[in-house]
Structure 1
Amino acid sequence: MLWPTPPHGQIYDPSTWTKLGLPQASELQGIDLRVCRKFFWPLGIIHSKYVIIDRKVAIFPSCNVSWERWFEFAVKIQGPIVDSLLSFHVDFWGDDRWLIQLSAVSSLQQDESRSSSTTEGIRAFTTLLPSPHTPTLIPKHLKLPSMMGRLPCVPDAPIRFPETPLLATTYRLLNQATNSIIMLTPNLTEPAVLDALSCALERGVNLIIWTNSTLMTMEQIVTAGTTTPRCIRALQKKAKAFAGVLEVNYFDQGPGKEPVSDSDKETHPIKLHSKVTIIDADKILVGSGNMDAASWGTSQELGVLIESGSVVREFLRSWRYGNISLCPV
């Protein structure tokens, strides 16, 4: 699966589907199925996750199509954002069989085009935020500007990242937060994010982080040259001098270690895999992107910004693994 594909991808013949764990083609006669794979060397992971149903419903999960005992999160959205997601899908995967032509809309309709309905039937402004794959030969932390910036005699180089819609919006939201940031991320190693969080704490913004102490540690070392606990310790050290309150929770050292009955063992998460960022209790960013160097450097990601305090409150009410809010919900 790590062998590189041509830009248009590798289409699997139906005779090979069983090798992928799929049923035989004869068992899927009622489904028009197309199986395509894309992978680009050396660091070209297609990490976005989404489902489109009947061109009317979009589901944005944090999980892969696999089974791990991880805490995941998904949001279901209906409305114009589904058309945007379908266009994104067709543009990348080249599968235009289901693409529909959208009619021109009036300026009034355009003003309302970001309003969608979420899982709980809450109407909210939503924005699809793609983050295309960024090709690179070596990880960012091994590039000359990053390495030179670690030398004591050399001034720190500006923190750079691909200016994709998802990454640029995330960075802007973190830097514009005025009251609170709640962040759930499997790992936290991206310098741009850590810098933005440090600046937020300095401004007096309160910050809650939920992450893991050990998850894909080797990947962190390869892509970032560091680990989440090390980055957290550095942030905690800085936070002592700042006005904002920093609270860090390791899911795999807390809820993930709680004893459970044998009947609940398979459904009780031991790691956190959700990617959720809440800004000032009225904006929630969800999707596939982690706050690590891989998601901010090379991987293709996809996020959704939902501007709704009601959606934020629904998420906070559904969380049952410990403190996640700086105020009552």
Structure 2
Amino acid sequence: MSLHEKVEGLCRNPHSVSQALAEDPSLSPGEAAKKLYHPDNISISEGHVPSKRNPATEDELERALQCGRFTTQPSELFLRVFHDSLMPLEHDPLMGCCSPSLVGSTGTCPLTIISGLPDICRHMSNLIARADKEVLLATNYWMDSDASRLITDGLKELSRRAGERGVRAVVKIMYDRGNVKQVLDNHQTVSEEEYTGKNIRLPSTKEAPNLDMQVLNYHRPMLGTFHSKFMVVDRKIGIVSSNNIQDNSNMEMMCHVEGPIVDSLYDTFLISWHNELDPPLPSRNSPAAQGGLPTFEQASFQGLFDPNGNLNVPEYGNSRSLQEVAEAGKRTELPLHAPGDPHYDVDIAGEVTRMQSVMSPRDGETGPAVAARHLNRGRHLDLKPTIEGNYAPGEEMTPYIPHRVHDLVPMALVNRKPYGATNHNGVFMPQNEAWLSAVRNATTSVFIQTPDLNAAPLLPELLAAVRRGVDVTYYVCLGYNDAGELLPFQGGHNEGVANKLYTSLTAEESAARSRLHIHYYTAKDQVAPIHDSFKQRSCHVKLMIVDSHLGIMGNGNQDTQSWYHSQEVNIMIDSAEIVTKWREGIERNQNTAKLGRSSNEDGIWRDAQGNQAKGAIGVDAGKFSWAKGVVGAVQRVRGAGGF
């Protein structure tokens, strides 16, 4: 399998949808894409999966290198995965929802968040409030909620600040709430009357008079869900995350990026938007590649770290600047930035300090009690911690993980287009090829966290990896959307898949069995997994780490829907420093590694007495699993199920 000259030409050609709109703002992104790449004449289902994938040669890796805008030399693993992710572009240049010239890039990661959903929305709302002129926000599901109120409060604050500056800010918001009109037009403009209604409750013109806001509802019937979750602010800051905008009990993950990779996310937003931009985007002539690295240039952020790169701000505790102490007056801790009671910070350093204050023990609280208090916020729960005693120093929950100042590192977008048909032909996509290539080319370790893992193409690759000596560890959520996954052709529920993997290894393959580690998400304050049906402690993180230096995170689950149908946006990073921090944050902010491990005989979690978790289905879903699947499908459409 080798890169076609057509793909090389597309990647090396400087043209992009973004550039076309900069040159002619009257074009819609859809018109620009058609002019450059003729996407209307392409059928996704005709892009067949190669019958054989041969490893790229040294010459082919060099050609792949020239297809990206890398300022530092990527690792061989990154280049192999990048090479393979480009292959589907031969059939359709926009299979990755990004202009080919912008797919491979560089960037920095100042901040990662691994926590409950509200903490990501807190950061998003701060970025929105601090925006200068432009916010582009894409999410799968938007529901009026505490999470959405954090965002809408931020939009109102942006309007207020823009008014003080005597300017207007442009806001574009895109989500997926499928309706029958999308059979004829996938991209439905949402009226102000609708987006200010009870289900969405975005600000009205009266509430945010200094915003020019457009809202779009995008879905490709039947199954082509717009599952993307990302944001671009002022074409300088990018956010890629796992969360929707709704209240739930999920642990989530977000990566804040800056540098040239933001231009790639900006381009992806334009291609996804498709329709006319009214008004045009103010940043169309201000590429991120020329905009510096805003966070790393701030003295306050640099001051978070000592000369050795260690945090000066304690990992918990009320560490504040003198100015913050003066402003706080007699308060003993910084208040939470909350919906309806916003407390905006001037920069990321302020956000980190506030979060560490919020996570400090109060009135004799233990560490597990602090974690429980914080994780309960997503659904206003009162679930008590089951972890006894206290955490050892350094084990406290730390939702915000700042990364010390670092050079630009190789990055790439490995996305996929939506595919609506009710078959599995829409599988040859950059996202899927990247995941498969990463596992195939792993030499030491593969780590995955995902709500569900049941994608048929992935399972044999995981088995092949452990058989050739690679350690494979994956974390899934017990019972996550079991009903939906039990529909025919959806791949099955997590316990059934775990059982299938372990029982596929013969008695003679004990070494391979010892290298396969399957765990069920166990929250930071709990001693055991809690079944998702209770909606108390679930996990929605989407992450793959290979050989401790290549990371892929974003929107895509390792399930049938994400592999075959939904539009997904994922970022691939080549940096041992960043990826190590990701893995440390994953382990520190949950107990999955210690307390969630399944049996390596049948893939089932049991407690010390041999009991399965309450609500668990076990290996056999029963005769009427298809009926449960129908219920799950209905819940998904209503937004009540996992997605």
Shorter-normalised TM range: 0.7 to 0.9
Residues in 2 aligned to 1:200 and 1:134: alpha-carbon distance in whole angstroms: 29
Q: Which residue of 2 aligns with 1:125?
A: 410
Within 5 Å, give how 1:226-265 maps onto structure 2.
Answer: 226-239=492-505, 241=509, 243-244=511-512, 245-251=515-521, 254-255=522-523, 258=526
Query: Deviation of residue 14 (structure 1)?
Result: 1.4
Query: Deviation of residue 269 (structure 1)?
Result: 6.8
Residues in 1 aligned to 2:260 and 2:402: alpha-carbon distance in whole angstroms: 15
Q: Which residue of 2 aligns with 1:168?
A: 433
Any conservation in 1 of the 2:455–2:491 contact (CA below 8 Å)? no
Query: Deviation of residue 243 (structure 1)?
Result: 3.5
Q: CA RMSD in A?
A: 2.8
For normalisation by structure 2, the TM-score amounts to: 0.42
Residues in 2 aligned to 1:203 and 1:130: alpha-carbon distance in whole angstroms: 28
Any conservation in 1 of the 2:491–2:559 contact (CA below 8 Å)? no
Larger Rg: 2
Q: Which residue of 2 aligns with 1:113?
A: none
Q: Which residue of 2 aligns with 1:219?
A: 484
Does the alignment pair 1:14 with 2:189? Answer: no
Query: Deviation of residue 271 (structure 1)?
Result: 0.8
Deviation string 1:264-305 (CA, Å, 9 cap, x unpaired) is xxxx97111000000000101001000000000111111110
Within 5 Å, give how 1:29-178 maps onto structure 2.
Answer: 29-94=209-274, 96=277, 97-98=280-281, 100-101=284-285, 120=403, 121-123=405-407, 124-138=409-423, 140=424, 162-178=427-443
Deviation string 1:72-110 (CA, Å, 9 cap, x unpaired) is 01001111111111111111202552262588x9xxx9x
Moved more, 268-277 or 63-72: 268-277
Any conservation in 1 of the 2:432–2:563 contact (CA below 8 Å)? yes
Q: Point out where structure 2 has 5 or more consecutive residues left out of the alignment.
A: 1-176, 291-295, 297-400, 529-534, 595-643
Equivalent position SS for 2:413: strand
Greater per-residue helix proportion: 2
Deviation string 1:106-155 (CA, Å, 9 cap, x unpaired) is xxx9xxxxxxx8962433211011200123134x4xxxxxxxxxxxxxxx
Equivalent position SS for 2:178: coil
Query: Deviation of residue 242 (structure 1)?
Result: 5.8
Query: Deviation of residue 58 (structure 1)?
Result: 0.3
Residues in 1 aligned to 2:524 and 2:178: alpha-carbon distance in whole angstroms: 31
Greater per-residue strand proportion: 1
Q: Alpha carbons of 1:170 and 1:38: their partners in 2 closer, same or farther (altered >3 Å)?
A: same
For normalisation by structure 1, the TM-score amounts to: 0.79
Equivalent position SS for 2:220: coil
Within 5 Å, give how 1:186-201 maps onto structure 2.
Answer: 186-201=451-466
Q: Which residue of 2 aligns with 1:157?
A: none
Query: Deviation of residue 225 (structure 1)?
Result: 4.6
Residues in 1 aligned to 2:420 and 2:203: alpha-carbon distance in whole angstroms: 34
Q: Alpha carbons of 1:269 and 1:278: their partners in 2 closer, same or farther (altered >3 Å)?
A: farther
Equivalent position SS for 1:75: strand
Q: Alpha carbons of 1:257 and 1:220: their partners in 2 closer, same or farther (altered >3 Å)?
A: farther
Q: Alpha carbons of 1:128 and 1:77: their partners in 2 closer, same or farther (altered >3 Å)?
A: same
Within 5 Å, give how 1:293-304 maps onto structure 2.
Answer: 293-304=560-571
Residues in 2 aligned to 1:26 and 1:270: alpha-carbon distance in whole angstroms: 38
Deviation string 1:207-244 (CA, Å, 9 cap, x unpaired) is 11110120111221235152121111111223452644
Could you say which structure has the greater relative contact order, defined with CA pairs below 8 angstroms and 6 or more residues apart? 1
Q: Which residue of 1 aligns with 2:582?
A: 315
Q: Point out where structure 1 has 5 or more consecutive residues left out of the alignment.
A: 110-116, 141-159, 261-267
Query: Deviation of residue 317 (structure 1)?
Result: 2.2
Residues in 1 aligned to 2:457 and 2:426: alpha-carbon distance in whole angstroms: 7
| Amino acid in the other structure paired with 2:421 | T
Q: Which residue of 2 aligns with 1:145?
A: none
Any conservation in 2 of the 1:316–1:324 contact (CA below 8 Å)? no
- Percent identity, please: 22
Deviation string 1:46-86 (CA, Å, 9 cap, x unpaired) is 00110101100101011011121111010011111111111
Query: Deviation of residue 16 (structure 1)?
Result: 2.2
Any conservation in 1 of the 2:452–2:477 contact (CA below 8 Å)? yes
Query: Deviation of residue 21 (structure 1)?
Result: 2.1
- The alignment covers a number of residue pairs equal to 286
Any conservation in 1 of the 2:252–2:541 contact (CA below 8 Å)? yes
Q: Alpha carbons of 1:71 and 1:269: their partners in 2 closer, same or farther (altered >3 Å)?
A: farther
| Amino acid in the other structure paired with 1:273 | H
Any conservation in 1 of the 2:475–2:592 contact (CA below 8 Å)? no
Equivalent position SS for 1:34: strand
Residues in 1 aligned to 2:577 and 2:510: alpha-carbon distance in whole angstroms: 30
Equivalent position SS for 2:563: coil
Does the alignment pair 1:28 with 2:294? Answer: no
Q: Alpha carbons of 1:225 and 1:282: their partners in 2 closer, same or farther (altered >3 Å)?
A: closer
Any conservation in 2 of the 1:239–1:246 contact (CA below 8 Å)? no
Query: Deviation of residue 13 (structure 1)?
Result: 1.5
